[in-house]
Structure 1
Amino acid sequence: MSRHRKPAVATFLLVCAAGLAHGKTAVKEDILRLLGIEPSEQSRDYVQNKQQFQLHTLLTEQRHPQTMDLSRSIAGDTTAGLQELFAVDRDVAATMNAVADDPARLAKLQDASQAMQDALKNGHRVYFYGTGSTGRLAETLESGLWRPFWARLARDGKIWRKVQKAYPGIQDRVRGEITGGDRALVSSLEGFEDLQLIGKLQLHDNGIGKDDVVFAVTEGGETSAVIGTAKEGAVVNGNDPDKTWFVYNNPDEVLLPFVRSREVIEHPGITKLMLATGPQSITGSTRMQATTTSLYALGVTMEDAIHALLKPVLSKRELAALGFDGNATIASRLHDFATLQQTIAATAPRLAAWTDRESSTYAAGHRTTYLAQRALMAVFVDVTERSPTFRLAPLDRANATERKSWIQVWTPAADAGAAWDALLHRPFHGLDPALYAKPFDTQIEDPWLHAAAQRSLANAGAEQQWLYDLSFSADNLRRSGPGEGDHGAMILLGNESPRIGEQWLRTFAEQGAVPVVVHVGNAPLSADALDALHRQLPQLAVFDFTMPFAHDPLQVSQTLGLKMLLNAHSTGIMAKLGRVVGNTMTAVQPSNLKLYGRATFLIQSHVNAVLSSAKWKQAHGETPPLTYAQANAVLFDAIGKRSGNPALTGSPEVELAIVRILESLRLQRAISWDAAAALLRERKLDPYLAGYDD
């Protein structure tokens, strides 16, 4: 089977599953003996004792047939590659329509809206919690949608007085939390995701109590930290299913074999919202369609709850001025997503020009700076999610002596503290070791998780905010200002004017950087404002994307539209730069139990696709497929050998393992890790594997 054909998911799995059946044959000893590898203790433990984290059977971990050839198609035609990525978003539209048209599924979202209303009316809170992408989703619901809405509303003193009289302090009653606290927005904290304990502890750390409503959101439906939150939410609320919700993106039948998932799905005190769309456009990258689905569904549900709360308080004219449509329902808003998807998909030819600009910036060894104000959360989320997905250096610390990150994010703010306020619209929340240290020390039995959690706790405190400066300030300009050939992108949302960043744009242009303006809103940018900018900066490129929704009070549609554009843009860049093979994230950095499994499966599946090809068989005869245990042993050996070896640090473990296995089998002698790295530097994985295509 060619790696770039479009097999059914079941067929693809059969190639890999065949390897699992050979675990006790002589091949197991032969391949590892050929490579000179003895499975490490951690590898043996993972294969034998961590089956509950070997998640390659999940629908979200399969390859999507629409993007099987993404890395090659986008290399030749950026527009065509972006169109492939946008086409997968039709799966989200299908799910939204299916929920809207199914009375039982729609009723759950209506009940969720009512649960929010009941809590907020009675002075209680709504708590969204997630890990990784869904943790950023949770914080987007609070800091990107909820708090900015009330801030805009508060500008009208008359309306604000009415709202505060009816619901005092309502602006502070929604809380979005990511596993590991706000520091984890920058980059993941190893070990936390795999602990139900931390979800439980963070719920109490945030003061969530009886009659508060908990939404535990996990793309895969198996994330331990989120499951811990859901289970503890049920305990706190006396198993009242109206108070604890579990939101996920895989079908129940593929989750039930996993004990921790089954405990939640079958829990009578937890209401389940299953929002599966299918495989992701990049295999396993649930920042794409899975997170889009959950963010949109929960966003329009929250919008519905706010509308219901404000109806008795404000006049129809006041509600309309805020953007509410008196005829809108959750069902109609879910149906709206199809129009949003079609609008975004139509941008591919224009978006391609920006994608080409930014990708050529990195290819030439230069960097990008994003500037955003209202769009800050959406931009920050997309940039920080590029790091684990495509193995980029995370955002540089303010005290870094060497710039490693390709990207930085700035906002018009005077200093680091003001920039965090602009992002979060509330104080930064770190994990206090006094609350977590003892439970971590006494309640984590697994030695690897225990060590990882202790290391991460030391980097999760409130002091972390001062290590990252997102401000457009003199200090940041001095430390990491633009240079000739760098790329600057000012991102505008809604009715923001480009004049908010005039000084920033001029600064970039004066230093020889190439600035652009990107706008997403329900009306085009002012022609007068653009003319004024072009008079100052004739070379300025403007990418203006209009969303078709006038009634978007929380800016759910505009925010989701921007998210989808940024997701496709950043994924397209990484695919063009060789950080994607086909539609698989072979540059993934294994940093938790789930990612160990994903990396293992990527090694196994790519190797077995080559071994089963006609070209390989003609040249080398029948070769038994690689087993999961073999792939895992090679992975952990690569992780160990890569650490501290400068010759290997530029090559991801998955890619090193694939090349070393195939070259050693081809030559029938082991090549070294250094030789595998040298081959990758010369050819990169995608063209290397192309040599084995039928």
Structure 2
Amino acid sequence: MPRAIVFIACALLTCVTGIAQGRQANDGDVLHLLAITPSAQSLDYVANKRQFQLHTLLTEQRHPQTMDLSRRIASDTTAGLRELFAVDRDVTRTMDAVAADPARLRQLENASKAMQDALRHGHRVYFYGTGSTGRLAETLESSLWRPFWERAAKTPSWRKIDKALPGIGDHVRGEITGGDRALIASLEGFEDLQLIGRLQLQDNGIRRDDVVFAVTEGGETSAVIGTAKAGAELNGGRPGKTWFVYNNPDTVLLPFTRSREVIEASGITKVNLATGPQAITGSTRMQATTTSLYALGVVMEDAIHHLLAPVLSKTELRALGFDGRATIAARLREFSTLQHTVAATAPRLAAWTDRESATYASGHHTTYLAGHALMPVFVDVTERAPTFRLAPLDRVDAKERRSWIQVWAPVDDADSAWRLLLHRFFHGLDPALYAQPFATQIDDAWLKAAAARSLANAGAEQQTLYDLSFSPRNLQAVGPAQGDHGAMILLGAETPDTSSMRWLRTFTTNGASIDIIHVGDAPLLQRTVAALRAGSPRPALLDVVLPIRHDPLELDRIIALKMLLNAHSTAIMAKLGRVVGNTMTAVQPGNLKLIGRATFLIQSHVNTVLASGKWKQAHGATPPLTYAQANAVLFDVIEQRGKNPALASSPEVELAIVRILEGLRLQRAFSLDEAAALLRSRRLDAYLGGYDG
């Protein structure tokens, strides 16, 4: 039986029976063999943290299109990229389904009307999310909303706009759990607290009659649920004021108490945008976030159009990029064209993917330079760290360089770079608002301690610790060297300014390979191409031309770039062994949800091997690993790994899988040092591949 089918069958079986079996007699066999006694933390997690054991969610399942991704892409980068892009067709199906369903379409139309009503009367719109959806929320504000009004302010029609809608550019706010510092990397403990969602809504000054969009790809994120509940309470449960946007079917969410409370709440309007499994299992930064960002971007675009239609002439609206025929349904259906256009880049994109992969494989670094595209580039780069177990962006006071990647803006100081990224001032969390509620309203000791630690790293001072500029300081500290790589990203009609050209010359002169990526509705001008490729060696150019008729917020360009970058960065990590099949076995179990994901990955991969013909032929029938056993091994690995620096290069999930399988194979305790040595000599993918067939 093919490995992919075995994996699915084992996953379905263990999903239903694993936890219950954890307390049966078999529970002691593997653990006794490995000399492991379940820790108090593990026992508590299995028995009392079931609301965070999310392996039944559709977004946590393996996608059949990418089952063999890690091995396919090892031999054929283009084929691997095509697999990744193929999953984006699920987003197309969701967009088409919403456009064709009057009830679901009416939801989005009503969301647009809610935005219009609030903004027309001087109220605000608040988008909130955690992790990927938090970056989505900030993208809606800082990449779509604010830049549009900045462009509008430079047109002759601005005087009429400003008179009719004074201060409109400041009336939408996008917030990530943990504040702007969490854009760099997630802050442990925050995601699991409904309390912080409530506090951040208060911190951002959201009031009655403001409209709240709480966005969670899973539909179960505690911080986002806290925001939805607080928004509904603030508005007295009035319909149309609080919206809950999510990407899993209601049927799989209802068993989770916190999800059920929101789904069944009459004062919260639900927008279900379920797309299915992700290209990388559980990596909702990909299709789930693409779906929600596009749908909410279309709603925002529609709301702006209706706000401006009574104020501006049709000619003035066209000058701002609006097409009077662009309904929400029509825009949703246009996603298909974007998806096809981006997917067609696979053969050309592969060369860039191979170059950047080779850069990391040889121990070198990559620097991305982006101006108009800074937010989508920054988001993709920072999301690589938690997904594939990379070091986050280095701080300015770092004593050694740990991050493989850096992101620069074509400006010469850190403050200007943050301003270009956010189009507003940096927002940190003020301990005066959060410390006392954290101390008195969090019952779980682990969460209380984690939240307190994270609060210390979430304040406004965090802005000064990260420099995203093409500055003399950065050039001296982390400037390009022979063998490094540089990627310049251009969006729309953007042309490289003096600073960008200086960056290009600097990297070329110092022996870095260069890729230039442009996404727009027309090719780069020939004179621009000539200027960019005037040096030696000539940079490679990937010019992606979108068949766009209208794109006033640059939503289409940003979504196309997002899909391109998501596939590119995922392919790189698959080529470098950070993906096994289509699972992220390098995941860092840093919160309750990720502990559950790590546990299920261990259980599923082990049971796939135990069900294989080769294992049975060599060792006979072996009882499947239970969820409780997998969790006990995981917590033991986490504890030992924290004490032993020699284990730091091997992810917990991989160590646990090898330790269990080798222990069963050899019928003896197999130490973590032995597991780490095996993983240094042989990638997990190759190790597991030995049991195929």
Q: How does 1:649-688 map to 2 (within 5 A)?
A: 649-688=648-687
1:486 to 484, 487, 501: 484
More divergent stretch after superposition (602-611 vs 17-26): 17-26
SS at match of 2:494: coil
Q: How does 1:355-366 map to 2 (within 5 A)?
A: 355-366=353-364
Within 1, Cα distance between the matches of 2:358 and 2:7?
35
SS at match of 1:155: coil
The aligned residue for residue 470 of structure 1 is 468
The aligned residue for residue 443 of structure 2 is 445
The aligned residue for residue 28 of structure 1 is 27
Does the CA-based 8 Å contact 2:508-2:535 persist in structure 1? no
**1:392-443 CA deviation, whole Å, 9 max, x = no partner?**
0000001111000000000012211111001000010000000000000000
Within 2, Cα distance between the matches of 1:154 and 1:303?
17
Runs of 5+ consecutive residues of structure 2 not aligned to the other structure? none
The aligned residue for residue 83 of structure 2 is 84
**1:187-230 CA deviation, whole Å, 9 max, x = no partner?**
00000000000000000000000000000000000000000000
More divergent stretch after superposition (622-631 vs 410-419): 410-419
Does the CA-based 8 Å contact 1:586-1:652 persist in structure 2? yes
SS at match of 1:517: strand
Q: Note the C-alpha offset of 1:313.
A: 1.0
Within 2, Cα distance between the matches of 1:167 and 1:143?
19
**1:513-560 CA deviation, whole Å, 9 max, x = no partner?**
112211000111011111122223442111111111130000111100
Give the AA of the match of 1:136.
R
The aligned residue for residue 168 of structure 2 is 170
Within 2, Cα distance between the matches of 1:10 and 1:668?
26
Within 1, Cα distance between the matches of 2:571 and 2:605?
21
Q: Share of identical aligned residues, percent?
A: 74
Q: Does 1:640 align with 2:648?
A: no
Q: How does 1:510-589 map to 2 (within 5 A)?
A: 510-589=509-588
Within 2, Cα distance between the matches of 1:114 and 1:262?
26
The aligned residue for residue 148 of structure 1 is 147
**1:128-177 CA deviation, whole Å, 9 max, x = no partner?**
00000000000000001100111111112x31111110000000000000
**1:574-614 CA deviation, whole Å, 9 max, x = no partner?**
00000000000000000100000000000000000000111
Within 1, Cα distance between the matches of 2:533 and 2:61?
46
- Residues 8 and 25 (structure 1 numbering): CA distance in 2 closer, same or farther, change over 3 Å? closer
Q: How does 1:188-337 map to 2 (within 5 A)?
A: 188-337=186-335
Within 2, Cα distance between the matches of 1:21 and 1:436?
39
The aligned residue for residue 65 of structure 2 is 66
Give the AA of the match of 2:214.
A
Give the AA of the match of 2:481.
G
**1:104-149 CA deviation, whole Å, 9 max, x = no partner?**
0000000000000000000000000000000000000000110011
Within 2, Cα distance between the matches of 1:391 and 1:264?
32
SS at match of 2:646: coil
Q: How does 1:610-649 map to 2 (within 5 A)?
A: 610-649=609-648
Does the CA-based 8 Å contact 2:68-2:582 persist in structure 1? yes
The aligned residue for residue 494 of structure 2 is 496
SS at match of 2:384: helix
SS at match of 2:301: helix
Does the CA-based 8 Å contact 2:125-2:173 persist in structure 1? yes
Within 2, Cα distance between the matches of 1:111 and 1:538?
54
Runs of 5+ consecutive residues of structure 1 not aligned to the other structure? none
Does the CA-based 8 Å contact 1:16-1:608 persist in structure 2? no
SS at match of 1:57: coil
The aligned residue for residue 95 of structure 1 is 94
Q: Note the C-alpha offset of 1:12.
A: 3.7
Within 2, Cα distance between the matches of 1:93 and 1:8?
27
More divergent stretch after superposition (168-177 vs 15-24): 15-24
**1:230-266 CA deviation, whole Å, 9 max, x = no partner?**
0000000110121000000000000000000000000
1:339 to 337, 340, 356: 337
Within 2, Cα distance between the matches of 1:263 and 1:135?
21
Does the CA-based 8 Å contact 1:22-1:625 persist in structure 2? no
Does the CA-based 8 Å contact 1:2-1:609 persist in structure 2? no
SS at match of 1:226: helix
Within 2, Cα distance between the matches of 1:16 and 1:457?
35
Within 1, Cα distance between the matches of 2:213 and 2:318?
29
Within 1, Cα distance between the matches of 2:431 and 2:274?
37
Within 1, Cα distance between the matches of 2:557 and 2:486?
22
Name the TM-score, length of structure 2 as normaliser: 0.99
Does the CA-based 8 Å contact 2:10-2:608 persist in structure 1? no
Does the CA-based 8 Å contact 1:431-1:460 persist in structure 2? yes
Give the AA of the match of 1:443.
Q
Within 1, Cα distance between the matches of 2:307 and 2:525?
34
Within 1, Cα distance between the matches of 2:222 and 2:509?
49
Within 1, Cα distance between the matches of 2:436 and 2:577?
44
Within 1, Cα distance between the matches of 2:21 and 2:43?
17
Q: Note the C-alpha offset of 1:488.
A: 0.3
Q: Note the C-alpha offset of 1:498.
A: 3.2
Q: Note the C-alpha offset of 1:471.
A: 0.4
Within 2, Cα distance between the matches of 1:100 and 1:639?
46
The aligned residue for residue 415 of structure 1 is 413
Give the AA of the match of 2:671.
S
Give the AA of the match of 2:467.
D
SS at match of 1:283: coil
Name the TM-score, length of structure 1 as normaliser: 0.99
Give the AA of the match of 1:234.
A
Within 2, Cα distance between the matches of 1:682 and 1:11?
28
Q: Note the C-alpha offset of 1:10.
A: 6.3
Within 1, Cα distance between the matches of 2:552 and 2:99?
20
- Residues 7 and 325 (structure 1 numbering): CA distance in 2 closer, same or farther, change over 3 Å? farther
SS at match of 2:157: helix
The aligned residue for residue 49 of structure 2 is 50
Give the AA of the match of 1:636.
F
**1:615-657 CA deviation, whole Å, 9 max, x = no partner?**
1011001100000000001001111111131210000000000
Within 1, Cα distance between the matches of 2:486 and 2:534?
18
Q: Note the C-alpha offset of 1:13.
A: 1.2
Q: Does 1:595 align with 2:594?
A: yes
Within 1, Cα distance between the matches of 2:18 and 2:180?
41
**1:649-687 CA deviation, whole Å, 9 max, x = no partner?**
000000000000000000001111000000000001000
Within 1, Cα distance between the matches of 2:262 and 2:528?
53
Q: Does 1:394 align with 2:407?
A: no
Does the CA-based 8 Å contact 1:18-1:625 persist in structure 2? no
- Residues 314 and 77 (structure 1 numbering): CA distance in 2 closer, same or farther, change over 3 Å? same
RMSD of aligned Cα (Å): 1.1
Within 2, Cα distance between the matches of 1:141 and 1:386?
20
Q: Note the C-alpha offset of 1:377.
A: 0.1
Within 2, Cα distance between the matches of 1:294 and 1:636?
34
Q: Does 1:133 align with 2:132?
A: yes
SS at match of 2:378: helix
Within 1, Cα distance between the matches of 2:464 and 2:394?
12
Q: Note the C-alpha offset of 1:382.
A: 0.2
Does the CA-based 8 Å contact 1:489-1:516 persist in structure 2? yes
More divergent stretch after superposition (504-513 vs 132-141): 504-513
Give the AA of the match of 1:283.
T
Give the AA of the match of 2:643.
G
SS at match of 1:250: coil
**1:298-326 CA deviation, whole Å, 9 max, x = no partner?**
00000000000111111111111111111
Q: Note the C-alpha offset of 1:83.
A: 0.4
Instruction: Count residues with an aligned counterpart.
Output: 692
Q: Note the C-alpha offset of 1:7.
A: 6.2
